[in-house]
Chains A and B, each alone.
Chain A
Amino acid sequence: MTMTTEPRTAPVVRLDGREKVTGVGRYAADMTLTGLLHGRFRFADIGHARIKRIDTTRAKALPGVVAVITEADVPDVQYGLFIKDRRLFAKGVVRWEGEVVAAVAALTPEIAKRAVELIEIDYEPLPVITDIEAALAPGAPLIHENWESYWQDEKLVRSGNEASRSTIVKGDTAAALASADLVVKGRYVAAGSQAAPIEPRAILAEWRSDRVQIWSSTQVPFAARSLVSETLGLPENKIRVTVPHLGGGFGAKCEGHFEPQVAALARAARRPVKVVFSRRDEFLAPDHRREGMIVEVESGVMRDGTIVARRAQVLTENGAYSADEPLITILAAIFSTGPYNVPNVDITGRCAYTNTQPSGSVRAPGAPQAAWALEQHMDEIAKALDMDPVDLRRKNLLRNGDLSPTSQVMSEIRAVETLDKAAELIGWGQPLPDDEGIGIACAWWPSFPMATSAFVKINVDGSPTIITGAQECGTGAVMTLPILAGEILGIDPSEFSLVYQDTESGPWDGGAGGSQTLFNNGRAVADAAMDVRRQLLKLAADELEAAEDDIELADGRARVKGSPDRFVTIAALADKTQGTQLLVGKGSGEVPPTPASDTSACTGRLGAESFAAPTFGTHAVRVKVDRDTGVVRVLKVVAAHDSGYIVNKVGAAGQVTGGVVMGLGQALTEGTQISGEGRVRNAHLLDYKLQTMADVPDISVWFTDTAVSDAGPKGSKGVGEPPCIPTPGAVANAIAAATGARVRELPATPGRIWSALREGQA
């Protein structure tokens, strides 16, 4: 990696780092408890069927089996974010192969496995639909026969297999298309893909009288608690969800996930239970995979490259049940126009039930595929106009004062800078060998303001502690939160201790998703640190006989500005507070405002009306393609991002390189393959190929690193999700540049590239 700007502060070592490199850090699967039983789920193992009979007699009779439960053993509650269309255990019908039908608790994992196999289920097969367009076709068999009876969000528009339908309308697209010099059309089809954290999930539950303690590998302990509360009918304060170290999530561990089933199993067994997913389970069962998507887009352009109108239809794959996909479809619809100034926009987003794993947020949900489609379309426009792709983008990129598709006025954005920097660093326009090409792609992504809180306390000896409900999933909250508090209190970040990822210790937080921890919880921690700072300054002013304004906090001391010898240590001040008022600060901070927008002509909106503190980025990718085999070698990636002020350079750069490599995998080697019967064909890492270190090229990371207003702490914006968005589009454009052949399917496998070359299409 080339860091083109130097870190401004000394790099901060992760507070959890030492545990992680020495192997003593505990992840959920590493935990054990007295009396622990081993749980296992029985999955449907069929794409779509009516359940005629479930018989658990033989499983229950197996020695060592302590409990077997099905839907009959839990409250009959339907849940779901926008549509309450599912239950903890299948009832009557199974709609995808990974649906949980029953659960077993036994003395050993081996006995649990055998017991699961002894559960007898008789199915009457029902028609399986795995194709998005087939699901939406008139007369298609219904995946949820009783769809009309389900509770739904009142703003949601849906019908039958169409789980949501929404539009974004601005201006008069039909007229603008009619008067454009040229109309360019394209259709792009992206396969679904997987978050694939290296840690398969694990959950433990232990009842203590009428309270349950759950340890879960979740990104969102508070949402997990809410789901247990909703489905098992317990008040939230009787449920404690604690996350040991979390081995990555990337969205797949967002929302509640299996915590209620494990809690119900432990209650039935009257003993603690642990369920650990196999890699195969991790591929099949979580209701959060990245959705498959079909984007059809047409743009009206003028000879000089001005885009005057864009019409698009975005079809997304909801899967068998509805998680947050209806909202993701709305995001994907916005991204199908890209970060460009398009005055007339008419986009429809439709989300289709299929008999496949439910889709849901995976790192920048909805964005990479939509951007992959649109950025290829941009290059196809450039080609039709005989215009340089960078020039076309520069002409149309959003600038301050421009309007977004929902008529949000852009301010303090630096999209064009990221484009120019990426073009410069990749050497855009340089002569290349015949088999090489450079592709470029732009993207944007919102930050997500939300409420949260934190405490900061100074212990008797002056040592500082942050108490927060925030969650770390590898992304670096353990670094940014102490950096922010440390600056305010004049204490080295490494001296902080952190109480986090536990619903009973810290206030509510949205969790490790939406790139929101620094953005929101950072604000709360800084606010709490300011509270303590005020207390310290007051004490120090008394002690040093100076005005509060004249005192600064640095190096663990309060000292009089300009007279460093007049100081008192924070430890001494903390000691003084014993017996009076302790040094405890609390904070929330003011949630940044959401910009105004105009969605009066739009329908079916569930949110994302405008983008608070939007981030922008451009990736440029250089590839080499073997024309005989279709094999792509990525030689170089430049990732230029406008993420506002960068609080932790090493951490932020690591988010970018991680996002880029995830994007390379999505572009080239990943992609879930599903048979017509709804069975995943590549539910293991040999066939679902993640990028390895040997695949990875040199990656240059560049940030605008400029503070913006109405954003996160110090003018920062979200960092974690955006870096995976532009990569697949830039790779696709690079392949087309190298070969003249365009692959309109994702991933661009060697077979697809080879076929595109044979067809000579471009």
Chain B
Amino acid sequence: MKYSATLRVNGFSYPVTIEPQRTLLSVLRDDLELTGSKEGCDDSECGACMVLLDGEPVNSCSYLALQTLGREITTVEGLSTNGDLSPLQKAFLEAGGVQCGFCTPGMLISATALLARNPRPDDEEIKASLSGNLCRCTGYTPILAAVRSAVEMTAG
């Protein structure tokens, strides 16, 4: 049995017809072809699939698409405006926070949620907030530096 519904993603409305057990991640990637959100585990262990749901970070692999009706979804594709990178996106590039880039969408989403909640987090808060996002490349150090520098850019 499939249901017709409308998902709100990055400010657009997308009509979809989906089975109720479909995860948000699979609908984003396979139906809407927004492949920025990555699948690293399918089990809420890696954070590569993270998106914002009304501003709150969730692992979209472990969230049913139909649970998001009426809520605003933001994926990594929605983080830049009119081609301008967000301060976090810029800081990730400049500080070496991106290597292979597979964790990057989830990291950026996590960090975006953190800065929205707390524009001046200290290192411990940054580390705690991003600890659900695994990165195998960077050793996290450059990502921490990137978030710090985005804080400086934005919080003044």
Contacts and interface: CB of A to CB of B under 8 A. Distances in A.
B98 interface: yes
A648 B145 CA distance: 17
Interface residues of B, number: 55
B7 interface: no
B67 interface: no
A662 interface: yes
Nearest to A249: B100
Contacts of A245: 100-101
B137 A474 contact: yes
A275 B151 CA distance: 41
Interface string B127-151: 1101111111111111111000000
A762 interface: no
Contact of A278 (B42, B89, B126, B138): B42
A199 B36 contact: no
B104 interface: yes
Interface of chain A, main secondary structure: loop
Interface string A496-538: 0000000000000000000000000000000000000000000
A11 B85 CA distance: 18
B27 interface: no
Interface string B96-115: 10111111110010000000
Contacts of B105: 23
B73 interface: no
Best-buried of B36, B80, B126 by chain A (most CB within 10 Å): B36
Contacts of B48: 198
Nearest to A650: B96
A684 B127 contact: no
Contacts of B101: 16-17, 19-21, 25, 245, 247, 474
B86 to A, nearest CB: 9
A199 B38 contact: yes
A389 interface: no
Contact of A661 (B96, B98, B139): B139
B35 interface: yes
A690 B45 CA distance: 10
Looking at chain A, what size class is its interface with the partner chain? Answer: 35 or more
Interface in A178-198: 195-198
A276 B101 CA distance: 18
A86 B10 CA distance: 49
A198 B134 contact: yes
Contacts of B98: 14, 17, 20-21
A26 B137 contact: no
A476 B36 CA distance: 21
Nearest to B19: A110
Contacts of A475: 99
Contact of A693 (B76, B94, B102, B130): B130
A250 B126 CA distance: 27
B131 A17 contact: no
Contact of A685 (B45, B94, B104): B45
A248 B137 contact: yes
A500 to B, nearest CB: 14
Contacts of B76: 21-23
Contacts of A693: 126-127, 130-131, 133, 135, 140, 143-144
B40 to A, nearest CB: 5
Given A196-B136, A248-B137, A685 B38 contact: no
B96 A11 contact: yes
Given A24-B77, A279-B42, A686-B43, A198 B100 contact: yes
Contact of B136 (A11, A662, A696): A662
Interface of B: 29, 33-43, 45-46, 48, 75-77, 79-80, 85, 89, 92-96, 98-105, 108, 126-128, 130-145
Given A21-B76, A27-B35, A684-B43, 5 more contacts: A23-B76, A279-B41, A654-B96, A685-B41, A692-B134
Q: Lowest 7 CB-CB distances: which A-B pairs, in order?
A: A23-B36, A474-B100, A247-B102, A20-B101, A657-B139, A474-B99, A23-B76
